[in-house]
Each structure stands twice: as C-alpha cells, then as structure tokens.
Amino acid sequence: MRTLRISLNSKNILSLRDLSSAEIRSVLKLASSFKKDWQARKPRHLLPGCILGMIFEKPSTRTRISFETGIFQLGGSPIYMGINDTQLSRGESIEDTARTLGLYVDCIVARIYDHHNLEKLATFTSVPVINGLSNSFHPCQILADLLTIREHKKKLRGLKLAWIGDGNNVCNDMLLGCSKIGINMVVACPKGYEPLRHVTELAKEEGTRTNAEITITDDPKLAAKFADVIVTDTFISMGKDDEKMSRDAAFFPKYQVNSNLMSLAKKDSIFMHCLPATRGKEVTSNVIDGDASVVWEEAENRLHVQKALMYLLLKN
Ligand code: CP
Ligand code: NVA
C-alpha cells in the first residue's frame, strides 16, 4: 500500500497544527484501509511489541477503549495510568514523569486538562505523544469526524460545516481540520464562548490556501442554513461543571440542535457529535437518534484513525 511509505513530520500530535493537509489525507486513507481489514477480520500486526502508555487525568469511554483496542489490534499492548496511579498525584514533576515514561514505552496518549502541561510532557519525553483531549484541542476526534464526513459525502472540499454551541476544544481542532482540508466552517456560539482567537486566525489563514471560508457568528440559523454537516458538543465540557448555571443560561435553548434547526440544512445533511451527549440540552433525542445522525460511525472511526496515527508515528 502506497500510504505505508509516508511518514509524519511532527514527533507529536497535540493538535491538527501538527499535521499538514497532505498528512491528514494520508491518515484518512490509511484509516480506511485499516477499517476494511478490520471489517474483513484480517489481522494487521504492524506494531508488534509496541507499548502504548496512556495517562488520563479525566474520564473517557471512547478515547481510552479505542486506543487500547487499537494497539492490541496492531500487535502491541497498552498501559493505562489513571489520575492517581502515578507519582504525578504526589507532586512528581511532569518533566521527570515524561523522561521516565520515555524509558519504557514507545508512545504516549495523554488526556490532560492544561494544554501547556501536555506540551511540557511532549517536550521532555523521548517518545511520540498523542493528545487524547486537552482543554484546548482534540485532534483524534476531528480525524475521525473527517473520515466519517468523507464516507457520507464522498468528498470533503467545498462542503459547509456548521458548528453550533460551545467554541471548545473539539471546535478548535475542527477549525484547523476544516480549514486545512477546504471545508467551509461556520461557528455559531454565544458571545464569550468563541473558539480560541489564535486558532480562528490560523484557520482563516489556512483557509486562504484551500478556499475554505471560516465564519464566527452568534446566529445558529445562519450557520445551519444549507449546511452539509451540523455538529455540536456538550455545553459543559469536563472541568467546567462549576459554570453549569451560566452556561445553561447562555446556550439553552438558542443553541440546541433540534429538528427546526436541522430543517434549515441541506436535505441530505448529517448530524455529528463527539459524545458523550446530553439529550434535551445541546441536541434533542429525535436528532441524535434520527436518520441524519452519524454519531456511532464517528465513534467507530476513532479506532481506525488512531490506528493509522499510531502506525505512522511508530513504524520506524
Ligand atoms: N469523544 C470522546 O473523546 O469521548 P470520551 O470522552 O468517551 O473519550
Ligand atoms: N468538549 C468535551 C469533549 C468530550 C469528549 C469535553 O472536553 O468534555
């Protein structure tokens, strides 16, 4: 397979800043091939003996299980470390933890609140680090989302994607992914909940190269109009529970994805959500459980894109 000859420029994948548009396309291509083999139950032990260290400061269902399953399927093994399982919980520094882990494992997946701590981990360890979600970015999710969109729409370039709700970690990487790939993206969020300013600027700059228009508005109807893809996420990300009251007031009900909002999009539009979802808040049950919803394919595709990412980072 030709894709197997490509390698990635960056040692770490902390956000989609670390992948060029050509690299994103290669990850998707390889992920599709892994998916076909997986569906045919054909084993691909391409990383025999590789050890994946997994440091998780926050809970996870999809990220943890898809990475653990993925490394097993590639012939390697995972080591999961929850928040209280390492000496980090007793004050050992990130630098010393990073150096230590690099002595034992071949790659690290980290789900860490503060993105600067993730960057520190990546700087001080000798092995590749993949972001399993920080407060600022979630690159693996967006790779899975792009694969899912391509499977449904048979193309990526020129589509319109509407992000409705919180301009959060997932939204930040969605901006980078869409702009690098040539998808027009409109973010509709309340004032004060916009995506990171420097990320929006970078996305706009990328968009000038790929003809992707990037728009930030507070009008969900404007965003949804004629969209090919409607995406939302929880109004209350992990670590934001103490903002529940103010967030509910800011987002609900104006930014809920319901059938009225979906009816503004194209007839064949799809609905996406990284999960976990709160039915009745950011999305109604009839939308997330309805015909336009592709959320289970999104979740499955996490497995395939992450196997592709691990393979491309570790094959040498
Ligand atoms: N979408 C996602 O990352 O889900 P988890 O929090 O369950 O890993
Ligand atoms: N924005 C959500 C995504 C969860 C996968 C959070 O950070 O909690």
Can you read off the two tokens belonging to residue 2?
Answer: 């030709």
Read off the pLDDT of residues 174-188 as tens digits, 9 standing for 90 and up.
999 999 999 999 999
Q: What is the C-alpha to C-alpha distance for residues 219 and 124, in angstroms, rounded to an integer?
A: 43
Contact call for residues 6 and 311 (beta carbons, < 8 A): no
170 lines ligand 2 (CB under 6 A): yes
Q: How far is CA 101 from the centre of its chain?
A: 24
Say yes or no to pLDDT of 232 above 60. yes
Q: For residue 79, what pLDDT is reported? A: 98
Q: For residue 85, what pLDDT is reported? A: 94
Q: For all residues of the chain together, what is the average pLDDT?
A: 97
Instruction: Count CB atoms within 10 A of the CB of residue 241.
Output: 9
Nearest atom (ligand 2) to Cα of 238? 8
298 lines ligand 2 (CB under 6 A): no
Name the residue among 159, 185, 147, 129 with its Cα closest to residue 35.
147
Say yes or no to pLDDT of 3 above 60. no
Contact call for residues 58 and 238 (beta carbons, < 8 A): yes
Contact call for residues 59 and 89 (beta carbons, < 8 A): no
Read off the pLDDT of residues 91-149 as tens digits, 9 standing for 90 and up.
999 999 999 999 999 999 999 999 999 999 999 999 999 999 999 999 999 999 999 99
Read off the pLDDT of residues 80-99 as tens digits, 9 standing for 90 and up.
999 899 999 999 999 999 99
Q: What is the C-alpha to C-alpha distance for residues 49 and 77, in angstroms, rounded to an integer?
A: 7
Report CA(106)–ligand 1 centroid distance (Å).
23
168 lines ligand 2 (CB under 6 A): yes
Q: What is the C-alpha to C-alpha distance for residues 136 and 127, in angstroms, rounded to an integer?
A: 22
Q: For residue 105, what pLDDT is reported? A: 98
User: Could you give the percent of the chain with pLDDT greater than 70?
Assistant: 99
Contact call for residues 56 and 30 (beta carbons, < 8 A): no
Instruction: Count CB atoms within 10 A of the CB of residue 185.
Output: 27
Average pLDDT on 274-301 reads: 98
Contact call for residues 313 and 305 (beta carbons, < 8 A): no
Q: For residue 316, what pLDDT is reported? A: 82
Read off the pLDDT of residues 152-169 as tens digits, 9 standing for 90 and up.
999 999 999 999 999 999
Residue type, 114: D
Q: What is the C-alpha to C-alpha distance for residues 230 and 262, in angstroms, rounded to an integer?
A: 8
Read off the pLDDT of residues 206-231 as tens digits, 9 standing for 90 and up.
999 999 999 999 999 999 999 999 99
Contact call for residues 135 and 113 (beta carbons, < 8 A): yes
169 lines ligand 2 (CB under 6 A): yes
Say yes or no to pLDDT of 5 above 80. no
Nearest atom (ligand 2) to Cα of 233? 1
Strand order from edge to edge, sheet including 77-82: 77-82, 51-56, 107-111, 129-131
Q: Is the pTM of this model over 0.95?
A: yes
Average pLDDT on 31-44 reads: 96
Domains and CATH numbers, the chain: 2-137+302-314 (3.40.50.1370), 141-298 (3.40.50.1370)
Contact call for residues 136 and 195 (beta carbons, < 8 A): no
Report CA(246)–ligand 2 centroid distance (Å).
18
Q: What is the C-alpha to C-alpha distance for residues 67 and 45, in angstroms, rounded to an integer?
A: 15
Average pLDDT on 61-80 reads: 98
Q: How far apart are the first and last CA of the chain?
A: 16
Say yes or no to pLDDT of 4 above 90. no
Residues found in the chain: 316
User: Which of 67, 80, 133 maximizes ligand 1 atoms within 8 Å of its Cβ, making it the mutation to test the pocket?
Assistant: 133
User: Could you give the percent of the chain with pLDDT greater than 90?
Assistant: 97
Q: What is the C-alpha to C-alpha distance for residues 82 and 95, in angstroms, rounded to an integer?
A: 18
269 lines ligand 1 (CB under 6 A): no
Which of the residues are catalytic?
Answer: 111, 138, 141, 233, 274, 302
Nearest atom (ligand 1) to Cα of 133? 3
111 lines ligand 1 (CB under 6 A): no
pLDDT band at 1 (very low <50, low <70, confident <90, very high): low
| Ligand in nearest proximity to the CA of 173 | 2
Q: For residue 238, what pLDDT is reported? A: 98
